[in-house]
A and B are shown apart, each in its own frame.
Chain A
Amino acid sequence: MFAFILRRALQAVLVMLVIGLIGFSIQSNIGDPIRPLVGERVTPEERAEMAEKLGLNDPFLVQYGRFIKNAAQGDLGISFIYKKPCTEVILKHAPATLELVFGAALIIVFVSLPLGIYTALKPRTILSKCIMGFSTLGVSIPVFLTGIMLIYIFAVTLGWLPSYGRGETVDLFGNGYWNSGMLTIDGIKHLILPCLSLASIMLPLYIRLIRSEMMEVLETEYIKYSWAKGLSPMRIWLVHAFKNTLLPVITVFGLQIGIMFAFTILTETVFQWQGMGFMFLEAVQRADIALLNAYLVVVATVFVMVNTLVDIFYGLINPTVRITGTK
């Protein structure tokens, strides 16, 4: 087990180094970070001087080496546009994204479970057919469009919900890092539309997944046996069948959470949600190289850590993973 964990950790470090390298190699193509920060009158010589001061003129490997050395000490540089340490900027933007993903996850869980189960149990009813049809539609509309449509329906036309932003937030720990929108009514109202549009991309998938898993389970021997035994339908569906449906669903859910983070970039742009995705796009557009690299490293760290943990847990739960791993 120890060897397994150690190997995974080493792999993780390697992945991190490669990601850092990729981040660094794209930066030369993203444009000049100085230009957006200065007026049109600033001469090329003065711009060159600024670039020199920021160390942008050093050879690629020197810059990369310096970055890795500082990163190992937890220093990811200073963002040009925010004029603050990148780690601080990212940490301050992270809660907004986490709350968005959490809200979307809640919607997915509470909507896909009943709908998935219902469509599995009554596949031939009109309602089931409607749900399935709708889910096909949902999965094929880009999240960007869903967002804009939701805004025009619920904010502009009906006027029920706010159109953009996070609304009123509460500083959870009093240090300015975690500004939560989940504690005020205004904040929650602002959460609804972005969470819905983010959920829209995954929701159909889960309804279909739950439905097909459930239908499969319903065909198994032990369910037939339960019917024969004369158990109540509710007990068979919700206790015996549903429990076994959940295992693969949870696995997929864990993996897809990462993809949800990727979709936050689009959702956050449409709703001007001040999260990490929004910040990332801003960094790309304004060529804030320091922030861009820091973001890639932080996100990669999270991904690698989560994946490593999942693998370790798998190893604990299911020994075959561990055994094949040692071959």
Chain B
Amino acid sequence: MSIFLVLSFATIAGAKTLKVGLDADPVSLDPQVQLSGGMLQLSHWVFDPLVRWTKDHEIVGRLAKDWERLDPRTIRFHLRKGVKFHSGNDFTAKDVQWSYERLTRSKDFQGLFEPFEKVTIVDDYTVDVITKEPYPLLLNMATYMFAMDSEFYTGTDENGDPKDAVIKFEHTFANANESGTGPFTVEKFEQGVVLEMNRFEEYWDTESPGNVDTIILKPIKENATRVAALLSGDVDFISPVPPTDFERLKADPDVDLHTVSGGRIITFQMNQERVEAFKDARVRNAIVYAVNNAGIVEKIMKGTATVAAQQGPEGYVGYKENLTPRYDLAKAKSLMKEAGYADGFEITMMAPNNRYVNDFKIAEATAQMLKKINIDVRLKTMPKAQYWEEFDNRTADMMMIGWHADTEDSGNFSEFLTVCPGKKEGYAVYNSGNYCNPKVDELVYGAQSETNRAKRKEMLQQVEQILYDDAAFVPFHWQNHSYGAKKNVKVDPIINALNFPYFGDLVVE
């Protein structure tokens, strides 16, 4: 007992432990089994991508030291030497190729990597990544290319199943074991209970200032409990912070609140197939003019979001500065009158109540605002488990959808939300408004293979302008990511718009 005590004191004195409370924990240790925020966070802690985003929305090398574009379809990556996997194996080009090939077998990632043709090995530390067509987002996609230890994941496990299987619903080797190159090794993983990680002694990035030795991550789903855990000192870091507790965190002398603008746009779509009036751009514009989205950000989101008037946030290629929020009730009324709907009409509206921050409150406020231009709204909100089915069936006239571009690129919003439905397989999947403008389609599809950056920027900006003029959807805001931490935890340098806190570089004083 006394030896144990001495030992534990010794570790407390020298080692830094970070206790983390998040609203959700990773569902698996397999970085390729599910495409979700929680899983990507884990991937950045335990694995390393070829390249990653910085806080300023730039791409920097990780496992790739540098890269060059050989031709419109190919980028050559020069890999870092002397990188070790947690298993002790050396990281080489073979692992990049192997990981890519496994990625294409994953249902969740297949779609994202559809434009890719192959990864070829040039030598042990050089790979060529080749796409089927000229693809401007190749480098963006390389942020998803986390290297898995090909040797470690090859063979069969104790049940005789292949170790490289990508299966969601069952126990697989990769779901429970890991060997990445990342800053942390997984010590203990019990889903829904705890994820314990220790710093990897042989981590290649010796320049990283990160000094956290152990991370103990526990999911705390209940907002009030998560905040209480931070305030009482049981955890050092929480995310997200519920907007209602922002003031409390700011007022507390021991903790700090950190926010960073995120890229998820919250919108309502107006279904033109269900409501004749929505086919009229004047009516759609009237609705946009009637919705005081700046007021919603201030009152409901407590300032924890950035008011939006277009799809992609600042920093994205298609962002257009002149597109500003418009709220003008008189204008809205006159537009309705002009379109012949001065007396209004009745519509149905649906929104989830546990998917986005304050989703149902936003919907309620919107319904109230539309009442002022004589549009009567019958609103129904429901848990996300049921909502998506309704969304797929387009059961209401106005439906809420939030979207984050997984490619971190403006084009992605339109590909899923605003191109014409039914024209191209796999596109407009979340366009419940049936908005369709051939010009938008032309520009969006054109931008997909435009590798001239200036030209591409112009095309995507034009898309935003058309959508704005057409009032293709009702824009609300981009959600901010929020983090609460003790004062000695230097959070600001490691957070970014993608909500991937890079704990590997975290400094705790």
Within 8 A of A (CB), among B124-179: 168-172, 175
A156 engages B169 (CB within 8 Å): no
Bound-state CA distance A54–B168 (Å) is 11
Q: Identify the stretch in B96-104, B269-277, B382-390, B470-478 within 8 Å (CB) of chain A at 4 or more residues.
A: B382-390
Using a Cβ cutoff of 8 Å, how many contacts connect chains A and B? 133
With an 8 A cutoff between CB atoms, is B324 at the interface?
no
By beta carbon, the residue of chain A nearest B193 is A274
Please name all residues of chain B whose beta carbon is closer than 8 Å to the beta carbon of A30 when the two chains form the complex.
385-386
- Number of A residues with CB within 8 Å of any CB on chain B: 44
With an 8 A cutoff between CB atoms, is A82 at the interface?
yes
Interface readout for A136-174 with B: 1 if CB under 8 Å, 0 if not? 000000000000100110011001001111000000000
Within 8 A of B (CB), among A18-47: 29-33, 35-44, 46
Please name all residues of chain A whose beta carbon is closer than 8 Å to the beta carbon of B28 when the two chains form the complex.
83
Q: What distance in Å separates the Cβ of B163 from its nearest Cβ neighbour in chain A?
A: 16
Q: What distance in Å separates the Cβ of A4 from its nearest Cβ neighbour in chain B?
A: 43
Within 8 A of A (CB), among B399-448: 406, 416, 426, 429-430
Q: Identify the stretch in B45-53, B222-230, B329-337, B362-370 within 8 Å (CB) of chain A at 4 or more residues.
A: B222-230
Interface readout for A55-86 with B: 1 if CB under 8 Å, 0 if not? 00000000000000000000000101111100
With an 8 A cutoff between CB atoms, is A269 at the interface?
yes
With an 8 A cutoff between CB atoms, is B381 at the interface?
no
Q: Identify the stretch in B78-86, B106-114, B299-307, B342-350 within 8 Å (CB) of chain A at 4 or more residues.
A: B106-114
Whether A163 touches B228, Cβ cut-off 8 Å, given contacts A78-B169, A272-B220, is yes
Taking a contact as CB atoms closer than 8 A, the residue among B170, B172, B232 that contacts A156 in the complex is: B232
Bound-state CA distance A293–B112 (Å) is 35
By beta carbon, the residue of chain B nearest A190 is B234
Whether A39 touches B234, Cβ cut-off 8 Å, given contacts A82-B191, A163-B228, is no
Please name all residues of chain B whose beta carbon is closer than 8 Å to the beta carbon of A31 when the two chains form the complex.
383-386, 388-389
Please name all residues of chain B whose beta carbon is closer than 8 Å to the beta carbon of A159 when the two chains form the complex.
232-233
Chain B interface size, as a band, is 35 or more
Please name all residues of chain B whose beta carbon is closer than 8 Å to the beta carbon of A42 when the two chains form the complex.
107-108, 111
Please name all residues of chain B whose beta carbon is closer than 8 Å to the beta carbon of A37 when the two chains form the complex.
27, 34, 168-169
Interface readout for B226-255 with A: 1 if CB under 8 Å, 0 if not? 001101111000000000000000000000
With an 8 A cutoff between CB atoms, is A270 at the interface?
yes
Bound-state CA distance A270–B223 (Å) is 9
Query: Secondary structure of the A side of the interface?
Result: loop
Whether A41 touches B108, Cβ cut-off 8 Å, given contacts A156-B231, A162-B232, is yes
Please name all residues of chain B whose beta carbon is closer than 8 Å to the beta carbon of A50 when the two chains form the complex.
107, 168-169
With an 8 A cutoff between CB atoms, is A280 at the interface?
no
A38 engages B108 (CB within 8 Å): yes
With an 8 A cutoff between CB atoms, is A311 at the interface?
no
Taking a contact as CB atoms closer than 8 A, the residue among B108, B218, B225, B385 that contacts A151 in the complex is: B225
A163 engages B222 (CB within 8 Å): no
Q: What distance in Å separates the Cβ of B389 from its nearest Cβ neighbour in chain A?
A: 5
By beta carbon, the residue of chain B nearest A268 is B222
With an 8 A cutoff between CB atoms, is A99 at the interface?
no
With an 8 A cutoff between CB atoms, is B493 at the interface?
no
Q: What distance in Å separates the Cβ of A41 from its nearest Cβ neighbour in chain B?
A: 4
By beta carbon, the residue of chain B nearest A39 is B35
Within 8 A of A (CB), among B347-386: 354, 383-386
Please name all residues of chain B whose beta carbon is closer than 8 Å to the beta carbon of A78 when the two chains form the complex.
169-170
B108 engages A32 (CB within 8 Å): no
With an 8 A cutoff between CB atoms, is B36 at the interface?
yes
Taking a contact as CB atoms closer than 8 A, the residue among A43, A84, A164, A286 that contacts B111 in the complex is: A43
By beta carbon, the residue of chain A nearest B354 is A285
Please name all residues of chain B whose beta carbon is closer than 8 Å to the beta carbon of A39 when the two chains form the complex.
34-36, 108-109, 111, 406
Please name all residues of chain A whose beta carbon is closer than 8 Å to the beta carbon of B219 when the two chains form the complex.
272
Please name all residues of chain A whose beta carbon is closer than 8 Å to the beta carbon of B225 when the two chains form the complex.
148, 151, 163-164, 270-272
Please name all residues of chain B whose beta carbon is closer than 8 Å to the beta carbon of A285 when the two chains form the complex.
354, 383, 385
Please name all residues of chain A whose beta carbon is closer than 8 Å to the beta carbon of B109 when the two chains form the complex.
39
A152 engages B228 (CB within 8 Å): yes
Bound-state CA distance A113–B109 (Å) is 61
Within 8 A of A (CB), among B1-57: 21, 27-28, 34-36
A46 engages B193 (CB within 8 Å): no
Please name all residues of chain A whose beta carbon is closer than 8 Å to the beta carbon of B36 when the two chains form the complex.
39
Within 8 A of A (CB), among B172-198: 172, 175, 191-193
Bound-state CA distance A185–B497 (Å) is 41
Within 8 A of B (CB), among A225-275: 269-272, 274
Q: What distance in Å separates the Cβ of B252 from its nearest Cβ neighbour in chain A?
A: 9
With an 8 A cutoff between CB atoms, is B221 at the interface?
yes
With an 8 A cutoff between CB atoms, is B392 at the interface?
yes
Bound-state CA distance A101–B187 (Å) is 31
Taking a contact as CB atoms closer than 8 A, the residue among B21, B169, B233, B389 that contacts A32 in the complex is: B389
A164 engages B234 (CB within 8 Å): yes
Bound-state CA distance A81–B172 (Å) is 13
Please name all residues of chain A whose beta carbon is closer than 8 Å to the beta carbon of B231 when the two chains form the complex.
155-156
Interface readout for A96-121 with B: 1 if CB under 8 Å, 0 if not? 00000000000000000000000000
Q: What distance in Å separates the Cβ of B451 from its nearest Cβ neighbour in chain A?
A: 23
Bound-state CA distance A159–B229 (Å) is 11
By beta carbon, the residue of chain A nearest B248 is A156
Please name all residues of chain B whose beta carbon is closer than 8 Å to the beta carbon of A148 when the two chains form the complex.
224-225, 228
Please name all residues of chain B whose beta carbon is closer than 8 Å to the beta carbon of A286 when the two chains form the complex.
385
By beta carbon, the residue of chain A nearest B28 is A83
Please name all residues of chain B whose beta carbon is closer than 8 Å to the beta carbon of A46 when the two chains form the complex.
107
With an 8 A cutoff between CB atoms, is A287 at the interface?
yes
By beta carbon, the residue of chain B nearest A148 is B224
Please name all residues of chain B whose beta carbon is closer than 8 Å to the beta carbon of A156 when the two chains form the complex.
228, 231-232
Please name all residues of chain B whose beta carbon is closer than 8 Å to the beta carbon of A152 when the two chains form the complex.
228
By beta carbon, the residue of chain A nearest B389 is A32
Bound-state CA distance A83–B29 (Å) is 12
A36 engages B406 (CB within 8 Å): no
A44 engages B392 (CB within 8 Å): yes
Bound-state CA distance A8–B115 (Å) is 65
Whether A41 touches B232, Cβ cut-off 8 Å, given contacts A81-B191, A287-B385, is no
Please name all residues of chain A whose beta carbon is closer than 8 Å to the beta carbon of B386 when the two chains form the complex.
29-32
A interface vs B, CB < 8 Å?
29-33, 35-44, 46, 50, 54, 78, 80-84, 148, 151-152, 155-156, 159, 162-165, 269-272, 274, 279, 282, 285-287
CB<8 Å pairs between A and B, sample of 30: A31-B384, A31-B385, A37-B169, A38-B108, A38-B168, A39-B111, A40-B416, A40-B430, A41-B112, A41-B406, A42-B107, A43-B426, A50-B107, A78-B169, A80-B168, A81-B192, A83-B28, A83-B171, A83-B191, A84-B171, A148-B224, A148-B225, A155-B229, A162-B232, A163-B228, A165-B218, A269-B221, A270-B224, A272-B218, A285-B385
The 8 closest A-B pairs by CB, nearest first: A31-B385, A39-B35, A41-B111, A155-B232, A39-B108, A31-B386, A287-B385, A163-B232
Extra 4 A-B pairs, beta carbons < 8 Å, given A33-B385, A163-B229: A31-B388, A32-B386, A42-B111, A82-B192
